[in-house]
Protein backbone atom coordinates (compact mmCIF):
# COMPACT_ATOMS: atom_id res chain seq x y z
CA UNK A 1 0.00 0.00 0.00
CA UNK A 2 1.38 3.35 -0.97
CA UNK A 3 2.14 5.98 1.62
CA UNK A 4 -0.56 8.33 0.37
CA UNK A 5 -3.17 5.59 0.87
CA UNK A 6 -2.05 5.21 4.47
CA UNK A 7 -2.33 8.93 4.94
CA UNK A 8 -5.82 8.88 3.49
CA UNK A 9 -6.86 6.06 5.82
CA UNK A 10 -5.24 7.84 8.77
CA UNK A 11 -7.34 10.94 8.12
CA UNK A 12 -10.51 8.86 7.76
CA UNK A 13 -9.72 6.98 10.97
CA UNK A 14 -9.29 10.21 12.90
CA UNK A 15 -12.60 11.55 11.65
CA UNK A 16 -14.49 8.30 12.20
CA UNK A 17 -13.01 7.99 15.69
CA UNK A 18 -13.98 11.57 16.56
CA UNK A 19 -17.54 10.81 15.44
CA UNK A 20 -17.50 7.43 17.17
CA UNK A 21 -18.43 6.00 13.77
CA UNK A 22 -17.82 2.34 14.61
CA UNK A 23 -19.15 0.98 11.30
CA UNK A 24 -16.61 2.97 9.31
CA UNK A 25 -13.83 2.09 11.76
CA UNK A 26 -14.60 -1.59 11.24
CA UNK A 27 -14.36 -1.11 7.46
CA UNK A 28 -11.01 0.65 7.82
CA UNK A 29 -9.79 -2.12 10.10
CA UNK A 30 -10.79 -4.72 7.53
CA UNK A 31 -8.89 -2.88 4.80
CA UNK A 32 -5.81 -2.80 7.01
CA UNK A 33 -6.15 -6.50 7.81
CA UNK A 34 -6.52 -7.30 4.14
CA UNK A 35 -3.38 -5.32 3.27
CA UNK A 36 -1.54 -7.02 6.11
CA UNK A 37 -2.62 -10.41 4.76
CA UNK A 38 -1.02 -9.58 1.42
CA UNK A 39 2.22 -9.24 3.36
CA UNK A 40 3.80 -7.03 0.80
CA UNK A 41 4.49 -4.03 2.96
CA UNK A 42 6.13 -3.24 6.25
CA UNK A 43 3.28 -0.90 7.11
CA UNK A 44 1.00 -3.87 7.75
CA UNK A 45 1.55 -4.66 11.40
CA UNK A 46 2.63 -1.11 12.12
CA UNK A 47 -0.59 0.04 10.50
CA UNK A 48 -2.73 -2.01 12.88
CA UNK A 49 -0.78 -0.71 15.88
CA UNK A 50 -1.14 2.84 14.67
CA UNK A 51 -4.86 2.28 14.00
CA UNK A 52 -5.43 0.94 17.51
CA UNK A 53 -3.57 3.86 19.05
CA UNK A 54 -5.86 6.27 17.17
CA UNK A 55 -8.98 4.88 18.84
CA UNK A 56 -10.43 5.04 22.32
CA UNK A 57 -10.26 1.75 24.26
CA UNK A 58 -14.05 1.42 23.94
CA UNK A 59 -13.91 1.84 20.16
CA UNK A 60 -11.15 -0.76 19.88
CA UNK A 61 -13.16 -3.19 22.04
CA UNK A 62 -16.23 -2.63 19.84
CA UNK A 63 -14.21 -3.46 16.75
CA UNK A 64 -12.74 -6.62 18.24
CA UNK A 65 -16.16 -7.78 19.41
CA UNK A 66 -17.65 -7.06 15.99
CA UNK A 67 -14.85 -8.91 14.17
CA UNK A 68 -15.15 -11.94 16.45
CA UNK A 69 -18.91 -12.21 16.33
Give contact residues for other proteins (rule: CB under 8 A). 1-3, 5, 8-9, 12, 15-16, 19, 21, 23-24, 27-28, 31, 34-35, 38-44
Q: How far apart are CA 24 and CA 30, in angstroms?
A: 10
Let me know: does 14 contact 54? Beta carbons within 8 Å.
yes
Query: What are the angstrom distances between the C-alpha of 9 and each of 17, 29, 68, 69?
Result: 12, 10, 22, 24
Q: With respect to other proteins, which residue has the nearer C-beta, 2 or 68?
A: 2
Least distance from C-beta 15 to other proteins, angstroms? 5
CB of 55 to other proteins, least distance (A): 14
Amino acid sequence: MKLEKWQELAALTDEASANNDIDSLIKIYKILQSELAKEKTAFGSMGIEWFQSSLTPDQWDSILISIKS
